[in-house]
Amino acid sequence: MYKRRLRIFGRNVGRGKRRIAIILIFLLNIFNIALAENIKLDNLNIKPEDLKKTFNPVANKFNEKTITTIIIDAGHGGKDPGSIGINKLREKDIVLSFSLELKEELKKILPNVDIFLTRDKDTYPTLQERYKIANSSAKINENKSKNALFISVHANASLSPKAKGFEAYFITAQESSEYARAVSILENSALVKFDKVDASKYEESISQLTHNYMLVEQHQKESRLLAQSIVDEVYKVSGVSKRNKPVQNALFYVLKGSLMPSTLIEIGFITNEEDAKFMNTKETRIKMVKATATGIKKFIKEFEDTNGFTK
């Protein structure tokens, strides 16, 4: 059965391509089983038929010539303070300020783009609620979905007060480093605690395996370019601390259910005195906000110039 299907790749298929083909066939078979049994996607509230549309990049890969919707997710909030830093600075507060300011800046420089927030006050949207806001704003479940971006805003923390710097992540099934894995565990732990997400079930079920692969295959390139574009601009700002490897990949739950290119940005370490002061001072924070918005705008311009990165 597999040998017959492998002919679509040509007669002289290398070992690497054969392995990829077999993995694809395996995942597609699992996916068909999931559809046949009408399996519900654990903790996601995404219908199998919606996943099928998104899984097919030919049928649903960017319906418009530009990006028309941006969703900003201020991490944590309400009962979840996030990390606590210098002078009891709370992550949930600083990322909300950043997100509100980012929305206003994006409205100025991208007047034709719709900007949405998953929260605009000190509330705690659940994981499913964040997904619902993102996907409904992008009209994912409708016939003509929007080209949308999802930006999740967080602030990092470390046991070492010397750790500092702005960084951005995009989602993959595997982490790019042990450090990236540690960051994803830190951010995911809040969802496990407050949403009571069963982490082992979330990552190991058949539907999640399929969903993981879909995200990696469908939007990984755009997500990586978005993360890099933001970092490139933010690192031009005087006073912003830089990381040795500012763009990395990891499996973040909050990015997993948003069916669009996405990035999670860590705007600094609230456990570092310099970063905490920079983030908590509106005058300097706004510089970082403006640079983030510029990075997003440049990504959109590149998207338009390359017809959706298809070349």
Q: Per residue in 85-140, pLDDT tens?
A: 999 999 999 999 999 999 999 999 999 999 999 999 999 998 888 888 998 999 87
Residue percentage of the chain with pLDDT more than 70: 63
Tell the CATH superfamily of the 45-305 domain.
Answer: Zn-dependent exopeptidases (3.40.630.40)
Q: Does the pLDDT value for residue 174 go beyond 80?
A: no
Mean pLDDT of 50-63: 46
- Which DSSP category does 9 fall into? G
Every domain of the chain with CATH number 3.40.630.40 lies at 45-305
- Which DSSP category does 66 fall into? S
Q: Which amino acid is at 24?
A: L
Reduce the DSSP state of residue 125 to 3 states and report it: coil
| Closest listed residue to residue 275, CA positions, set 243, 233, 248 | 243
> What is each CA distance from 17 to 6, 21, 61, 215, in whole angstroms?
9, 6, 23, 20
Neighbour-count burial of 152, counting CB atoms closer than 10 A to its CB (0-12 exposed, 13-18 middle, 19+ buried): buried
- Which DSSP category does 149 fall into? E
Mean pLDDT, the chain, whole residue set: 77
**0.75 surpassed by pTM:** no
